[in-house]
Structure 1
């Protein structure tokens, strides 16, 4: 959808309703592949997708990250945890181009992201959600997700202005893909509703759908369970596992340890900007340094916590 497009959410839905059966069947197959772009990725699980190498970030006299090194492996859910102020969101901000590192590097499939512009990082394959939901409030849920598909569009500006066949085809495919993603995250029935009219939990799901619309190699979720009830957290955990099982790689910043321990394949722990642990969930939850810095109490206390 271009910035000059005035098509309403209802109009976009009507374009789907009026498609012929044969045409719809043909594109349904394409949409299924687009929603789960990397089912074959599981074969390569364990290979490094993103490498954080000796990352240091300073803001004046404050060191937010201090020589942090870890990797995100293809096909996994990596949890990035730590107390408030540990540097988790700062790390996400470097990974997604919000900030630039003071020193060190971040590489996606060997390609440095450290000096890359934010839209280039999205095109390279890193998408994210935010602690504070950032949606286009006046746009429908469907339109919000369609915006995410723009990262993969190839139509030129003249082609969009003239509405050439390629542009019309990309618009139609974007609508189909957006509808498939809304169904994937469980809010297809809200497609025509303004984003601001959605309940808080559905807005979180909508933001995830929009991020998935960019076809990321790595999806970064920043505190997606914030403000959720216990039931909503359980449903979110199921969605995150579903995303991983559909071939995506996920990096998760989250304070709720029940969510973290329930979905992650591996956990990296930060404290005062330094990495203090990196391992399997059961290993990390029993690490004395982690218990002291994050979980509180003793190792015996941590063992009483079940995901």
Structure 2
């Protein structure tokens, strides 16, 4: 977990902040289907950016393009000043981008702590010989990994479930465990793909609090989410996609009052802002 710096605190609503990630005119085609069409936006260091739009808008495709699952057909993704190019997913993760998925992807027969340690291990450098003979680097990385795992489990309110198998956790606990594992890779940018899916209102409020805590610890967050109350309540800025194109970008209040966004999201032309 990184400490919040002055530069990171400056990246708050209405303030410029430093661009941590830039989508630069990204187009992604699958045969004759254009999934993303000339999409450009930036994520500023220390903010929570929401990426929203109706079903089929291209939100998850956009996630996949910036995390290395797909390669842009045109344009590029620049992260922390470095074009990602054709880097593989594990290389992008080591640069500092971590993500969760719509469908939970945990190691169900491993404990909660062991799942988080998988994330922590992505930055370990001890080789087979060092691990086999428990040499100093291996012992140090083991201590540091366990300490980080315990810290993140506490952050996600899972400290009391550390030794339980992932399969025995509740749905909401598994969602939070997946976030803890992603944070264990020590990302500069945490991408959350519909983390509130299947949550009840109490769990959604708890998730909002957790996302704010993650940001306040110095992390930058990109959030895909269908629940507009959650998005409006937790994000600093919002980007809106429709049919693979960006149709709006701005502060939550600006997006809420944007007629084009309301029409696109609800599929009607005369929707009231209360509905959004």
TM-score (norm 1): 0.85
Greater helix proportion: 1
CA distance in 1, matches of 2:251, 2:245: 18
Partner of residue 236, structure 1: 207
The 1-side partners of 2:84 and 2:121 are apart by: 20
* Paired position in structure 2 for 1:199: 170
Q: For residues 199-256 of structure 1, what are the alpha-carbon distances to aligned partners after superposition, in whole Å with 9 as ceiling and x for unaligned?
A: 0000000000000000000000000000000111111011111111111000000000
User: Segments of 4+ in structure 1 off by > 6 A?
Assistant: none
What's the offset of the Cα at 1:300? 6.2
Determine the C-alpha separation between the residues in 1 that align with 2:8 and 2:37.
32
| Structure 1 range deviating more: 256-265 or 38-47 | 38-47
Aligned to 1:252: 223
- Note the C-alpha offset of 1:113: 1.4
| Residue aligning to 1:27 | none
In 2, Cα distance between equivalents of 1:158 and 1:305: 60
Contact 2:97 2:189 in 1 (8 A): yes
Separation (CA, whole Å) in 2 of partners of 1:157 and 1:53: 41
| Partner residue, 1:114 | 85
Q: Check if 1:57 corresponds to 2:28.
A: yes
Superposed, 1:75-90 pairs within 5 Å as 75-90=46-61
Gaps of 5+ in 1: 1-34
CA distance in 1 between counterparts of 2:141 and 2:213 reads 27
- Indicate which of 280, 287, 291 corresponds to 2:262: 291
User: Any conservation in 2 of the 1:218–1:251 contact (CA below 8 Å)?
Assistant: yes
- Partner Cα separation in structure 2 for residue 58 and residue 300 of structure 1: 32
Asked if 1:42 corresponds to 2:8, the answer is: yes
Partner of 1:232, secondary structure, is helix
Report how many aligned residue pairs link the two structures.
270
State whether structure 2 residue 169 is matched by structure 1 residue 161: no
Q: 1:265, 1:289 → 2: CA distance?
A: 20
Matches within 5 A, 1:25-40: 35=1, 37-40=2-5
**1:271-301 CA distances to partner (integer Å, 9 max, x unpaired)?**
0000000100100111111010014545661
SS at match of 1:114: coil
Cα RMSD of the aligned pairs, angstroms, is 1.3
- Which residue of structure 1 aligns with residue 106 of structure 2? 135
Asked if 1 retains the 8 angstrom alpha-carbon contact of 2:25 and 2:39, the reply is: yes
Comparing 111-120 with 69-78, which one deviates more in the overlay? 111-120
Secondary structure of the structure 2 residue equivalent to 1:207: helix
Q: Distance in 2 between matches of 1:103 and 1:73?
A: 23
Structure having the higher Rg: 1
Structure 2 portions without partners, runs of 5+: 12-16
Query: Are the counterparts in 2 of residues 94 and 114 from structure 1 also a CA contact under 8 Å?
Result: no
Residue of 129, 146, 150 corresponding to 1:179: 150
Give, in whole Å, the separation in 2 of the partners of 1:43 and 1:261: 20
Report the equivalent of 1:267: 238
Give the Cα–Cα distance (whole angstroms) in 2 for the partners of residues 38 and 196 of structure 1. 32
Q: How much has 1:38 moved relative to structure 2?
A: 3.2
1:160 Cα deviation from its structure 2 partner? 2.0
In structure 2, C-alpha distance between the alignment counterparts of 1:67 and 1:201, rounded to whole Å: 36
SS of the equivalent of 2:38 reads strand
